[in-house]
Each structure stands twice: as C-alpha cells, then as structure tokens.
C-alpha cells in the first residue's frame, strides 16, 4: 500500500486581521483567511481567479502571527490540509477544509506586516522554532537573538519574537 502525503504551500494576502485566542489547556490558536490570486490566459484574454483559504496556527507561531500580521499582509504558509466535520443545530452534516500552518513566513516590509518601519521577512515555524539559514543568523550576544545577515546591530523585529524557549527542539543537525 502506498504511503500518504499531506503538504500545502500557499502564498497570499490576509483577508482579515488574525484572531488569537487561548484554549482551556493554555495553548494559543490563531485563525485568519488567506486570498491567493491566480492569473492565466484563455484565448489571449487575461483572467484572474482568487481562492480563499482558512488558516489555523498553534502555539508561539500563533502569537507571532497575531502580533505582526494584519489584514492585507503578505505571507507564505507551509502546512497540511485538515477536514473538520460536525453536525449543525438542525441536525445537518457540515464540513470544511482548512490549512493547519506549520510554518508561516512574513513577506514584505514591516510597515506592511505590523505598521513599523524597516525591511522585514520573518520566518516562524510551528513546534520546531526558528530555522537558521532562512535569512537570519544567530547573534554573538546570546541565544535566541537573530539579526539579518551582514551583522546589522538593529534587528528588524524584536528578539522576543524569535525566543522559542529551551523546551523546543530544532531540526538543525549540529
């Protein structure tokens, strides 16, 4: 029997501000909508279609999305499809397909992604923390602080956004 594979890669703009909430166990969960545009041509006529996708993010990634994203922000989302099924009040069966984000990368400037100045492209990863090599390097000053390559002493985003804690394992092989 063949193995299964469930992976989604999307790039688009938020259709609404992220909604952050805490579940009873204390975990953070953030939800937002994403609009993905597709341009194509039919018989020489340019056309465009937009697909709207619901995204759900958990943990520290959810907190970062809530803090730094807003309606219109550009993001790259890496995750998996999840089918939710339930019964409505009238007894009808309902379902929806959405993306559970495992990695959210903020694209564009911080002015676009939170109202602050300076260029920014941040990468937040679900559960495994920050992936070194995605445009940032560890600062000599201490663990958890990252600065753009080239040694800029003013990080483009506050250090606390990158502090994933000691209890999180990363996938760096050294």
What CA–CA distance (Å, rounded) separates 61 from 128?
10
Q: What is the pLDDT of residue 2?
A: 77
Q: What is the pLDDT of residue 149?
A: 44
Q: What is the pLDDT of residue 128?
A: 38
The dihedrals phi and psi of 133, each to the nearest 5 degrees, come to: 105, 0
Read off the tokens for 124.
């937040």
Residue 129: CB partners within 8 Å, gap ≥ 6? 164, 165, 168, 169, 170
Low-confidence ranges of the chain (pLDDT < 70): 109-174
Q: Residue 56 in contact with residue 104, Cβ under 8 Å? A: no
Q: What is the pLDDT of residue 119?
A: 37
Q: What is the pLDDT of residue 171?
A: 57
Select the CATH number that applies to the domain covering 8-161 from these four: 3.20.20.70, 2.40.240.10, 3.20.20.150, 2.40.50.140.
Answer: 2.40.50.140
pTM here is: 0.62
pLDDT in tens, 73-119: 999 999 999 999 999 999 999 999 999 999 999 987 545 445 443 33
Mean pLDDT of the chain: 75
Q: Residue 123 in contact with residue 130, Cβ under 8 Å? A: yes
């Amino acid at each position: 029997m063949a193995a299964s594979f469930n992976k989604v890669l999307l790039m688009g703009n938020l259709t609404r501000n992220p909604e952050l909430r805490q579940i009873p166990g204390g975990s953070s969960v953030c939800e937002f909508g994403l609009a993905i545009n597709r341009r194509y041509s039919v018989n020489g006529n340019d056309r465009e279609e937009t697909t709207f996708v619901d995204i759900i993010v958990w943990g520290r990634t959810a907190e970062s999305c809530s803090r730094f994203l807003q309606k219109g922000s550009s993001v790259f989302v890496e995750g998996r499809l999840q089918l939710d099924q339930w019964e409505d009040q009238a007894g009808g069966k309902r379902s929806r397909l959405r993306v559970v984000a495992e990695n959210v990368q903020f694209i564009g400037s911080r002015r676009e992604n939170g109202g602050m100045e300076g260029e920014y492209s941040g990468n937040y990863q679900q559960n495994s923390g920050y992936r070194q090599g995605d445009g940032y390097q560890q600062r000599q000053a201490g663990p958890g602080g990252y600065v753009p390559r080239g040694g800029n002493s003013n990080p483009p985003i506050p250090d606390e956004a990158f502090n994933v804690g000691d209890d999180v394992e990363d996938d760096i092989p050294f």
